[in-house]
A and B are shown apart, each in its own frame.
Chain A
Amino acid sequence: MMSKIKSFDELKSVQERLKAGRDPKKPCITICVGTGCLAYGTRKLVDNFREELAKRDLTGKIDFRTSGCHGFCERGPMVVISPEKIFYQRVGLDDAGEIIDKTVLTGEIIDRLLYVDPQTGEKYVHEDDVPFYKKQTRLVFGQNSKVDPESMDDYLAIGGYGALGKALTGMKPEEIIQEVIKANLRGRGGGGFPAGWKWDETRKAKGEPKYIICNADEGDPGAYMDRSLLEGNPHLVLEGMIIGAYAIGSSQGYIYVRNEYPLAVKNINIAIRQAREAGLLGKNIMGSGFSFDLKINRGGGAFVCGESSALFASLEGRAGEPRAKYIHATDKGLYDKPTNLNNVETWANIPFIINRGADWFAGIGTEGSKGTKIFSLVGKINNTGLVEVPMGTTIRTIVFEIGGGIPGGKKFKAIQTGGPSGGCIPEAHLDLPVDFDELTKIGSMMGSGGMIVMDENNCMVDVAKYFTNFLVSESCGKCVPCREGIRRMRDILADIADGKGREGDVELLQSMAQGIQDGALCALGNSAPNPVMSTIRYFRDEYEAHIKEKRCPAGVCRALITYSVDPEKCTGCTLCAKVCPTKAATGVKKEAHTIDPAKCTKCGACRESCKFDAIIVR
């Protein structure tokens, strides 16, 4: 247990001592134990490494660190060997001994564990050279691989809490706020509201106490950047919050985190306990006279609680329903007191701004959007994972250079940004520089940074139906346009996908979308029509094909497609007949097979199994 740090000088000496105790040339095996990698069974690999090190009497002689998510989730389990930063991916759970014997002890590279670029075939030895990492600017997320989330020493050794020390001893609260305003840090949770202005309004608002809250109720399907930050580097988020509390004049903060994120809850709890023990949280922080403490609240599984006023209601113990925000939360938020709510990634940016200054931060990004943004890149993409790039990076760079393009040589069709209530962006906008304003201009939004890539096999009516359906089940039900309107939109979309679409449906959807955007109570409802609006805007021909020709061009909507076998391509390998669950696919060995449409349930198993691309879907 660490004794309380009573001054900035004392913090500096603790940092120095920890840093000096670490030899940068000493071999260190770092293994990612983010949730994605854990799902590959990495826990077993960790145990193996510990066992194998102990067997060789190397425990302590070689550093071994478990760290948070590195972002390249597609390629887990991942091991990085320092100081050379040799990068091994898709490591087998029993490979620990071999890695120690060969690479760590003798410097030999294990060829089969190296990353091979699926597009160029090129092989990479060092982490920094891998295109997925090379094209990124891993400012906020980069520390994840340098710290064990359970070790405050790790965080202090890389200069952690230095920004807090600087803020508490050398800066007035107003100066900090001015610095954040000058940096033009915009909220990473979705709205993109300038964080500094929000801080300023909360500081100036009348009423005590003032609250600050970290919104960790990340709920967009496929998005997990906030999760990975909280899991992987909780002290960074804490440091940002304590600085914010000092600037705003708050003595009590909350972290509202999804209960579905058990590792994040565990790690943030450990971090809070450590920070309290070290005198960095609680009474008289770092001997400055400033006191601030934090509580964790676990959400009850409602997407709408990411919306500020619903989040407050939930924190207060009421049902998570939003209320009209004609009075700002900065004046009357939690318990009707001035409240400043920022999301995880926003808070995580603060220590960097304080450490390196607003001018440095504002030097990254575009005119209206500064700094970097972490995106979760998922869907039909080779390199599924978390990527951090400067604002203004084009979609093309993110998808094709970092993301490695679309698997199976398929054609890019669209990218959905901004979560379920964001929009689908077509190929024509691949060179769009991604920032808050550009995304809004073309009918989508930044949201919290979800990016779902779609290829030619995705039907855009089906996509709109999927997201609308998600929002139907997540509507809180308070206001009529959202509760009743979105489900009616979903019903019409389902009709269109079932071949029961009618002339005028597209126009009706557009008019409903306008009514819901204007009429709904909160941001969930206001933005709920976005998936429908953007798919109609960019893929209207697909809607027309479904409605007028009763045809699904992408071959997805089951009511509108039939499966058959191309006799030219079929080799009679019998695989389709073996996988078909209804025995609709039949045939004689080495002769072209056939599919009985009366028995076919259009499950797609034959198409997935066919090695000769002989299954036709029309």
Chain B
Amino acid sequence: MINLTIDNKKIEAEAGQTILEVARENGVVIPTLCSHESIEPSGSCRLCVVEIKHGKRTRVVTSCLYPVAEGLIVDTKSERVMNVRRLVLQLLLARCPESEQLKEMASEMGVLAEPRFTPDKDNVKCILCRMCVRTCEKVVGVSAIGFSYRGTDKKVCTPFEEESVTCIGCGACAYICPTGHIEMETTQSGDSRTIWGRTFKMATCTVCGRYFAPEDQLKYISKTADVPMENLAVCVSCR
């Protein structure tokens, strides 16, 4: 067991846990935008910063990555921490002025838009939290999307922004996107869906007859899990 202090509260933790995990287990709220239990942390949004004191040194670290240590003193709401969080939210609000999710988060945290930052007009809602890319790579396992360009030009896309041959149309990226940037369109009848510029034909359930999953996704599951296609012909509700 490891003993540490978070916001003056003495807490016990397991070795190898991160500050964020321990804080959440103990009811300490730390805001995040790029963290999800099913994917490894990446430390890119920087909202989860906390101020730590270990020995004589005080510094600001990302709680999603920092492992707990014996005697660690954590302050999740210090002045320096709040300054970083405010700046991050103001910068993201200026980048994605259309994102309702960001506006909501800012208002919850009492952060106002910085008038000196001219809002971007490109109507992009992507905050580059990387959750879609990480999910596609680590959870789905196809790596259909990734990053192109660098710095302010960086964006999530398929290689060369062409129709991806590896994408299975599962929609996990759209599902996990925290700002509603990734759009997936389904036809009215439900016989096909379009994502990342490619249209996928949907399979019907052999029991209820409804469209329930892209054919490519079923083929992918069949292949990777070594399950015959006929075992995947029934939707979740009818199984």
Contacts and interface: CB of A to CB of B under 8 A. Distances in A.
Interface of A: 302, 319, 323-324, 326-327, 472-481, 483-485, 487-488, 491-492, 502, 505, 508, 511-512, 514-516, 518-521
B95 A521 contact: no
Interface stretch (B20-28, B84-92, B164-172): B84-92
B134 to A, nearest CB: 12
25 contacts: A323-B43, A324-B66, A475-B150, A475-B152, A476-B154, A477-B128, A477-B152, A478-B42, A478-B128, A478-B130, A480-B45, A480-B92, A480-B128, A481-B46, A485-B91, A487-B152, A488-B91, A502-B116, A508-B114, A508-B116, A514-B83, A518-B83, A519-B46, A521-B44, A521-B62
A502 B115 CA distance: 12
B153 interface: yes
Given A484-B95, A508-B116, A476 B83 contact: no
Contacts of B45: 479-480
Most buried by B among A326, A475, A480: A480
B127 interface: yes
Nearest to B69: A326
Interface residues of B, number: 37
B210 interface: no
B85 to A, nearest CB: 8
B116 A326 contact: no
A492 B116 CA distance: 8
A8 B199 CA distance: 69
A314 to B, nearest CB: 12
Contacts of A472: 151-152
A326 B16 CA distance: 12
B153 A477 contact: yes
Interface in B36-69: 42-46, 49, 60-62, 65-67
A539 to B, nearest CB: 21
A515 B62 CA distance: 13
B186 interface: no
Contacts of B77: none
Contacts of A319: 147
B83 A511 contact: yes
Nearest to B62: A324
A515 B83 contact: yes
A337 B7 CA distance: 35
B83 A477 contact: no
Nearest to B84: A519
Contact of B66 (A323, A326, A505, A512): A326
A583 B83 CA distance: 52
B117 interface: yes
Contact of A479 (B43, B95, B153): B43
Given A479-B46, A480-B44, A483-B128, A488 B153 contact: no
A306 to B, nearest CB: 15
Contacts, number: 104
B83 A480 contact: no
A487 B95 CA distance: 11
A478 B84 CA distance: 16
B80 interface: yes
A488 to B, nearest CB: 5
B118 interface: yes
A477 B151 contact: yes
Given A319-B147, A324-B62, A521-B44, A481 B152 contact: no
Given A323-B43, A479-B45, A521-B62, 18 more contacts: A326-B67, A473-B151, A477-B147, A477-B150, A477-B151, A477-B154, A479-B43, A480-B44, A480-B127, A481-B46, A484-B94, A487-B152, A488-B94, A492-B116, A515-B84, A515-B86, A519-B87, A521-B44
A515 B117 CA distance: 15
B151 A520 contact: no
B180 to A, nearest CB: 18
Contact of A481 (B67, B80, B84): B84
A76 to B, nearest CB: 35
B151 to A, nearest CB: 4
A323 B62 CA distance: 11
Contacts of B127: 480
Contacts of A474: 150-151
Contacts of A324: 43, 61-62, 65-66
Given A326-B67, A475-B152, A477-B153, A515 B128 contact: no
A475 B83 contact: no
A565 B82 CA distance: 53
Most buried by A among B65, B66, B81, B152: B152
Interface in B90-123: 91-92, 94-95, 114, 116-118
A519 B88 CA distance: 8
B18 to A, nearest CB: 9
Given A474-B151, A514-B80, A519-B49, A481 B88 contact: yes
Contacts of A327: 67
B138 to A, nearest CB: 14
Most buried by B among A477, A479, A491, A515: A515
B88 A476 contact: no
A483 B65 contact: no
Most buried by A among B87, B127, B147: B87
A526 to B, nearest CB: 10
B152 A483 contact: yes
